[in-house]
């Protein structure tokens, strides 16, 4: 498998047909304002992604070119300006697409050491060194860009987790480049990242709790972001890539850190 993957990575990918690409862009209206140069690069990355990954339909779902391209285009969006391109996703090959949310067994150990087992309905999952699972109806829903409610983009969410996992931890802090935000060491880079992410998470979690328990104004991001700082990072990535202007207003202090990482030093729009 490794040899086949390396050959596919070195071989130029087939070009995405113009009609299929236009159809994908129409299905992803939040990409409409991006410069032509970015869309061209996105198209090339999506083609590479389709060449390197294997899509599998489960529970009766059939993988069509439309399904694969819509997922690929959103999956590569976070890597658009990252050094290394799709190397961020080289720990897996398979993408499993299902026709609805699925139930999975979870185990939780509470603060008293008591083990709790329960079933959780999920619409996506990313496993370290393993495949990504996505619910197709929720992929379609996220493609539209959100509307009035919280932005929900399961593809960006799960692939943000993959980026977070690159250093072996799922903690909301992806591997940061040398000199990140003026840092001189990896430890200092991490400290600067968390110095912006953690306070933003704490404020969001407090707002989410007040909204849920006391009827306060609900936050813009989906409430699932309050479950952990890693989930906050993934949910924040959904909003950042779908609606960066509003993200910059809602998370003024966090946006420079996201720009420094995801735009690789480029100035955000």
Instruction: Examine the domain organization and report whether 67 and 17 are in the same domain.
Output: yes
Which residue bears the tokens 């903690």? Answer: 171
**pLDDT for the residue numbered 5:** 44
Domain of residue 17 covers 1-169
Instruction: Examine the domain organization and report whether 153 and 182 are in the same domain.
Output: no
Indicate the pLDDT class of residue 268, thresholds 50, 70 and 90.
Answer: very low
Which residue bears the tokens 């959780």? Answer: 120
pLDDT digits (tens, 9 = 90+) for 162-183: 999 999 999 999 999 999 999 9
Q: What is the pTM of this model?
A: 0.90
Report the CATH number at residue 232.
3.40.390
Report the CATH number at residue 107.
1.10.472.150
Residue after which a domain boundary falls, among 169, 189, 209? 169
Instruction: Examine the domain organization and report whether 160 and 257 are in the same domain.
Output: no
Q: Where is average pLDDT lowest: 34-48, 108-122, 157-171, 195-209? A: 108-122
Instruction: Examine the domain organization and report whether 56 and 188 are in the same domain.
Output: no
Instruction: Examine the domain organization and report whether 151 and 178 are in the same domain.
Output: no
Measure Cα distances from 99 to 67, 69, 102, 243 in Å: 11, 17, 9, 27
Instruction: Examine the domain organization and report whether 20 and 153 are in the same domain.
Output: yes
Which residue bears the tokens 């919280």? Answer: 150
Distance CA 119, CA 104 (A): 6
Look at residue 103 and give its three-state secondary structure. strand
Instruction: Examine the domain organization and report whether 74 and 200 are in the same domain.
Output: no
Instruction: Examine the domain organization and report whether 143 and 187 are in the same domain.
Output: no
Token pair for 29: 């209206």
Q: Where is average pLDDT lowest: 45-59, 150-164, 204-218? A: 204-218
pLDDT digits (tens, 9 = 90+) for 8-57: 555 788 899 999 999 999 999 999 989 999 999 999 999 999 999 999 99
Dihedrals phi, psi of 150, to nearest 5 degrees: -60, 145
Instruction: Examine the domain organization and report whether 121 and 195 are in the same domain.
Output: no
Structural domains of the chain, count: 2
**pLDDT for the residue numbered 156:** 98
**pLDDT for the residue numbered 10:** 59
The answer to whether 156 and 74 are in contact (CB under 8 A) is yes
Smallest Cα–Cα separation from 265: which of 82, 5, 84, 12? 82
Which residues in 159-247 belong to E strands, given as ranges? none
pLDDT digits (tens, 9 = 90+) for 44-102: 999 999 999 999 999 999 999 999 999 999 999 999 999 999 999 999 999 999 998 88
Distance CA 28, CA 80 (A): 16
Instruction: Examine the domain organization and report whether 144 and 176 are in the same domain.
Output: no
Instruction: Examine the domain organization and report whether 157 and 145 are in the same domain.
Output: yes
The answer to whether 139 and 24 are in contact (CB under 8 A) is no
Q: Report the relative pairing of strands 102-109 and 94-98 from DSSP bridges.
A: unpaired
């Amino acid at each position: 498998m490794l040899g086949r993957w390396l050959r596919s990575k070195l071989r130029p990918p087939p070009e995405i047909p113009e009609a299929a690409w236009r159809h994908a862009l129409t299905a992803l209206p939040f990409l409409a304002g991006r410069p032509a140069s970015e869309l061209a690069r996105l198209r090339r990355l999506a083609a590479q992604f389709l060449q390197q990954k294997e899509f599998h339909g489960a529970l009766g779902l059939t993988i069509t070119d439309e399904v694969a391209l819509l997922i690929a285009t959103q999956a590569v969006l976070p890597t658009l300006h990252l050094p290394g391109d799709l190397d961020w996703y080289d720990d897996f090959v398979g993408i499993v697409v299902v026709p609805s949310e699925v139930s999975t067994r979870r185990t939780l150990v509470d603060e008293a050491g008591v083990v709790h087992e329960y079933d959780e309905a999920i619409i996506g999952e990313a496993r370290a060194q393993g495949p990504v699972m996505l619910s197709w109806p929720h992929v379609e829903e996220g493609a539209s860009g959100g509307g009035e409610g919280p932005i929900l983009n399961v593809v960006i969410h799960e692939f943000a987790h993959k980026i977070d996992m690159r250093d072996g931890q799922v903690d909301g802090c992806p591997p940061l480049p040398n000199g990140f935000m003026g840092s001189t060491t990896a430890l200092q880079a991490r400290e600067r990242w968390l110095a912006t992410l953690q306070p933003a998470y704490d404020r969001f979690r407090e707002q989410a709790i007040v909204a849920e328990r006391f009827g306060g104004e609900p936050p813009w991001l989906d409430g699932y972001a309050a479950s952990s700082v890693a989930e906050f990072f993934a949910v924040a990535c959904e909003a950042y890539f779908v609606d960066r202007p509003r993200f910059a207003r809602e998370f003024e202090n966090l946006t420079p850190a996201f720009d420094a990482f995801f735009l690789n030093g480029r100035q955000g729009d």
